[in-house]
Amino acid sequence: MRRLLTPFRVLGLLAGLAIVAGIVLYLVPSGDYLLLPDRAHPVAPLVQVQGGKDPGGTGGIYFVDVFERRASMFESLFPWIHDGATLVPENLVVPPGVNDQQARQADLRAMTISQKVAAAVALRRLGYRVTVKPSGVIVAALDDRSHAVGKLEPSDLIVAVNGKPTPTIPKLRAALAGLKPGATVTLTVRRGANLRTVVVKTIADTVDAKRAIVGFAPEQAAEIKLPLKVSIDAGNVGGPSAGLAFALEVMAELGHRVTHGYRVAATGQIELNGAVTPIGGVRQKVFGVREAGVDVFLVPVGNAAVARRYAHGVRIIPVKSFPQALHALATLPPKS
């Protein structure tokens, strides 16, 4: 007996095929990454300061992170299925010449550094003596054009160029100043506990074609000695963007009024001189701040426009420095 292929059966077959295709697409990874919001977290339980205590009363400091994971083919086609998600190319999350695990370790090291810098900035602000000794130049991210791709990794520490010590970024630039693009340099690199030499051909700076560069974003490394023991446990959260929040919390735990009764979220990489620099994932962080019921969100000036676009009632305060952040909070109207 022959069964007729009715329109309903055709629709059923097509629906079944669509479901199977969707499942397959959801299981197959793509070449993109998803940035997803995470609810803002109170900082106080993570920070312990010698002689300090968790601040009482209303308000509090919050930090915000972003979930990063590889998108499936389905998510790459339809990222809007996740509220607040942003789809980004792989090279914006995992630098060239680096695998997922190496990128993750670099993020965790950046978090460790940001914690020490945050504590140093806060204690200096309070008048404590903090000893800082430059110790080299960190490879933050590699340029796609660089011949160092596959030779250097994020978080590598460059301590010398052609045998000349480079404890600071200006010293590194001075060591390269007499070279022409295409010249070969020998870098002395510390990776973990190991010291190695890496030979790399320089490239031309995109701004000044006569200037030779290795082709990476530099960050200053330093040995920091604090007068008080400060412990910050952020778990498996990586990256440097919680620096501003940690610095505010250190001051609060030493008995200083910081939040003035407000629930304050803060994001931004903090430098040893107190400068607050832009970070990524701001859109997702605003979603996380809103979910936590935060009143005020401190963001770097360069991120303010995006933050305001998604604020939906959260007060956005752009800041360039740690002192400016403290002043902005101190001049808020009394909490009703």
Among 172, 204, 223, identify where a domain stops.
223
Contact (CB, 8 A) for 245 and 297: no
Amino acid 124: pLDDT: 95
**Are 125 and 232 within one domain?**
yes
Q: What percentage of the chain exceeds 70 in pLDDT?
A: 90
Q: Given a cut of 80, is residue 67 above it in pLDDT?
A: yes
Among 199, 223, 247, identify where a domain stops.
223
Amino acid 13: pLDDT: 63
CA-closest candidate to residue 106, choices 144, 172, 157:
157
Q: Which two tokens stand for residue 44?
A: 């106080």
Query: What integer is the mean pLDDT of 276-298?
Result: 94
Q: Band of the pLDDT at 6, cuts 50, 70, 90?
A: low
- DSSP-based three-state secondary structure for 188: strand
- DSSP-based three-state secondary structure for 219: strand
Residues 220-256: tens digit of each pLDDT: 888 999 999 999 888 878 778 889 999 999 999 999 9
Amino acid 1: pLDDT: 46
111 phi, psi to nearest 5 deg: -65, -45
What lies within 8 Å, CB to CB, of 191 at 6+ separation is 153, 155, 156, 157
pTM of the predicted protein model: 0.83
**Are 136 and 108 within one domain?**
no
**Are 113 and 200 within one domain?**
no
Distance (Å, rounded) from C-alpha 9 to C-alpha 15? 10
Whole domain around residue 236: which residue ranges? 29-130+226-330
**Are 121 and 136 within one domain?**
no
203 phi, psi to nearest 5 deg: -125, 170
